[in-house]
Structure 1
């Protein structure tokens, strides 16, 4: 698998997302803890050197599983987390994005993972807000980077204007936004990341909140999968890698079978006919 820079590191373009290690909806304990541990170890065995996580996955579950499975971590493993959210006692998602909450979130990640520094931390935004508030949040992220708590600053769920505001203040090493074959509202953000050499890490690459059937059940995706002897999910993931050179995948699963399938997507070559059928950067024909 080819690599792309994630800050000061070069990582394989297919990584692993820890969001599905806890229970349903990234809340509560895992369905099968033993398999969750095995999935994480197998991912690293298959070449994963970029794991995306968050302390609020569970909460307090995903990071505990990662530490139990991998500590002490391989030297080349880039652990990336995110701050700006928390969970209520029913699993609801709440904002936790004041500067002091961002610092507390980073410190909680460090403690839970048992590390002194994270390869990157994404600042998760919840909605279009006051640019002054974003500047205050960036101040907190920059301070933590300068203190050595994080190597690089990332952003999540941002629009082009917000990303440009951040880039005027500091280096941004990665961006996480929703993006897949049928929902490409983040295309301007992706294009800016290509221009600036920033890693773009799409979430919901298989649809998820936008409806998995819209992606995996699309006739063009199913036809390409049948012709290339692949699964629709592998085709959708391979398309994300083909759409731009800076895209990094973090497909998540708590299933060993699905992990093997996801990793194989990194080796699936979409030929010209496949790209034409899938839109080659647009929506499926």
Structure 2
């Protein structure tokens, strides 16, 4: 589906989505460059942040370039192989975002609740293992959903009610019993929605409990300030996804679903660098030093 059939709006949409994509890529590349070039940021928290930025670039790149090309060429056709490839990349990088947000919550939990053991627990070896685990989980998830789509979906000249090969939309094209579609949907929802969000909420409950034991307000604020950026990204990421998939079915329409999908596929990866730059002094200072060094 296209966002609008109006020919006069096509140049506007083309410029808008291309600009958003370029801001997403450049913003996240700037975060990666700032972390890699500043030795003060060579810590577990910023190691996972740079990988989150890399995942955000891949997440946006799995959908937006095709959308921009479709607007430019006035074509909304995607091949069978192209659809499966896009879906695989979308699920993989989305899963990376999902798992890395859990890992970053765990990192903040260890830093605040077990500060004396932080360097031992979050050693470089464990950080690499956690990153590889997130990659492994994302690969398994993308391939399982791909195989499921191959088994239950009719791909012959179908219309997808979205601007990309949304896995949720593809399952709606199921040729099989609706029970299979519902089982897959609930499994994905629990494993990559309910479970990660529960772990993050549990971590922050422990963090808040530990912060309340700090006697001075200044100490509490300083400890919690390192969590502010991560918490903002978590709220933005899960808020937009839950708003998309838990919306009332009575008020749902394909057009509203496309706009909602746009929020977490394009807007969220674009805003993440701004959130970390504005709310994190270390990143902000590193970006400024990087800017002055280039000048």
TM over 0.5: no
* Higher RCO (C-alpha under 8 Å, 6+ residues apart): 2
Structure ID, larger Rg: 2
TM-score, normalising length: structure 1: 0.24
Q: Relative to total residues, which structure has the larger strand share, 1 or 2?
A: 1
